[in-house]
Chain A
């Protein structure tokens, strides 16, 4: 019989006889705990990203105080991205005898590329989502602008030298900002009317923006091309540059949840190690009997490895499924905090589940199973004969390496992981009264999660802020 088939048969028979129950239960707890959190944070991260993109009205936004070359548009169209342009400036608008300062935004078709405009036919009217922009000769004014002018839709206003009809109330635009220039009420007009207003003249405080959107990979590929072509005075923003506080908090929360679930993984890993030890002790006689019947050492080892791999795959998939179910419960418990419908989860948590199952089985069960495989066949006659003992510390080292690999996979930040390991050691030293630092020094982990990171850590966490 070939080894994979025999390994599968033995695994099925062990499962049926309940020999793997404890091992499988510990594995499922570990994988489902991690993937449950991973599914939730994945969906929440996607929601944050989508919201961030809406605040740009695009995936990428190019800004300049000088007209932007059309070369960028052609480059974007070649790569399959959609585009739009915004030209904005402050100006005074007139409605009969009334006038007020407003922020004029002349937009092209397609604006906004992310998110939607919300308009109503008149002040305090029913609000609708629209995919249109003002038609030529028309303008949409924010409620504050209408209130300042004391008019409603249907009124003709003067914008520079152009006369435009207020056709809708602009209740919401996704790229509404909180900066000083956004304090002025908005007047949205069609880009085709911009020239007739005569507002764009030398010395005008005009800001030109070009918007780009598309699927993530295309945008990621396009961004460096665009950056390479930028001229002086042109700046590029993407979703990473928006809402840094929210993103930073979200990432820290995700890391905290991951680390918290790692505690459950660590406990489950200990259970796995104990279950594997029990399993290997119980199966030494079996290995001896199989060797008596002619099974070679390599066949036993390969069979054990394959069984472990099959167990990891089955445990990883089933644990991920349980994690998927569990994350719905978590999302329900946190529904008031989340406050919106989350996007569908990606495949990353399932990959994490499989990786977790493989890593903790390799780190915590493999050493004992490999040792079990070395059981001498003579054990069938002399029960006191044991396999050669594991070399000193192999189990411990394998377990530490497994946890380190898992941490690196989840946190994706070598420096932070090493800091956490160092911090944990520091905390242990602190709690045992053997602190090496100056008196009154806070343990690293406490400081990290309290948000009072030392400079080096702040730099790590603040990488997303760079380039803003």
Chain B
């Protein structure tokens, strides 16, 4: 069930870096509003600024200009520790390269965000999350003992275990074969639907993008156009 409340909002967001060729603009005055429970795909060619936008929205980086609000809190006004605290409570991640910790078992990887947040009964909660992705039998296995699909399922369990407000996914099927990728997409959207999490994902995968409520096409650091998938009847909610 979608509401009209914006959970994520960006205003005139720019990111510039210094390069040997001079000042390089990676993001150029991007405006964006995402509602709670919405799923948004950010697509575009390499170098279009997709991952930079994702990093800024998640508070992993700071913009050169512009402001970002997450749950009505301006994260661009926070310091690194403040943004970390906000991420601990409201943000989950799924990465292309999984980013599971090699020295931790599957269960311990899922437990980690709970432990960082100081949650009680982290082990029980994490085990339930592993059951949700069908990997409770692999809880004692290390990442190097899991297949690519299994690693991503563990990563999804880890992302959802803290019930995040927003889930950011960076090319979640990028390292998987097509069949495994489809399984992961199904799992991601099923869990997103069950937990009413807002989903923001960066992808080249058109099948994955078409499952989202909105598709934002980026080029040269700007959102060039917004597309509603063929079967979607959601209204366009783009700031600029």
Binding site for B on A (CB under 8 A): 1-2, 6, 9, 13-14, 16-17, 19, 282, 285-286, 288-299, 376-378, 380-383
Contact = CB atoms under 8 A, between A and B. Distances in A.
A292 B113 CA distance: 9
Given A13-B103, A285-B99, A378 B84 contact: no
Given A6-B116, A292-B93, A381 B55 contact: yes
Contact of A381 (B51, B86, B108, B118): B51
Contacts of A6: 115-116
A285 B104 CA distance: 13
Contacts of B115: 1, 6, 9
Nearest to A289: B99
B125 interface: no
A380 B99 contact: yes
Contacts of A298: 81
Contact of B116 (A1, A282, A383): A1
Nearest to B170: A381
A22 to B, nearest CB: 14
A13 B51 contact: no
What 9 A-B pairs have minimum CB-CB distances, sorted nearest first?
A294-B88, A17-B103, A296-B81, A293-B113, A378-B60, A1-B115, A377-B60, A294-B87, A1-B118
Contacts of A383: 97
Nearest to B95: A380
A382 B119 CA distance: 29
Interface in B105-123: 108, 112-113, 115-119, 122
Contacts of B170: 380-381
Contacts of A376: 60-61
29 contacts: A1-B119, A6-B116, A14-B103, A16-B103, A286-B101, A292-B87, A292-B91, A293-B88, A293-B93, A293-B113, A294-B84, A294-B85, A294-B86, A294-B87, A294-B89, A294-B91, A294-B117, A295-B88, A296-B80, A296-B84, A296-B85, A299-B116, A376-B60, A377-B60, A378-B60, A380-B93, A380-B95, A380-B99, A381-B60
Nearest to A285: B99
Contacts of A380: 60, 93, 95, 99, 170
A427 to B, nearest CB: 44
Contacts of A13: 103-104, 108
Interface of A is mostly: helix
Contacts of A297: 80-81, 84
A317 to B, nearest CB: 23
B232 interface: no
A297 to B, nearest CB: 6
B54 interface: yes
B189 interface: no
Contacts of B95: 380-381
Contacts of A293: 87-88, 93, 112-113, 116
B60 A19 contact: no
Given A6-B116, A289-B99, 20 more contacts: A1-B115, A1-B118, A13-B104, A13-B108, A17-B104, A17-B142, A19-B103, A286-B103, A289-B101, A290-B116, A292-B87, A294-B86, A295-B116, A296-B81, A376-B61, A380-B95, A381-B51, A381-B55, A381-B60, A382-B51
B97 to A, nearest CB: 8
A288 B55 CA distance: 12
B183 interface: no
Contacts of A9: 115
A376 B86 CA distance: 16
A16 B91 CA distance: 30
Contacts of B93: 292-293, 380
Contact of B60 (A1, A292, A295): A292
Contacts of A291: 84
Nearest to B81: A296
Contacts of A282: 102
A22 B33 CA distance: 50
Contact of B113 (A14, A285, A294): A294
A381 B54 contact: yes
Nearest to A15: B103
Contacts of B88: 293-295
Contact of B102 (A17, A292, A378, A382): A17
Contacts of B112: 290, 293
Interface in B63-101: 80-81, 84-89, 91, 93, 95, 97, 99, 101
Contacts of B54: 381
A298 B142 CA distance: 28
A5 B143 CA distance: 23
B76 to A, nearest CB: 15
Contacts of B61: 376, 378
A139 to B, nearest CB: 80
Nearest to B202: A381
B13 to A, nearest CB: 15
A291 to B, nearest CB: 6
Contacts of A378: 55, 60-61
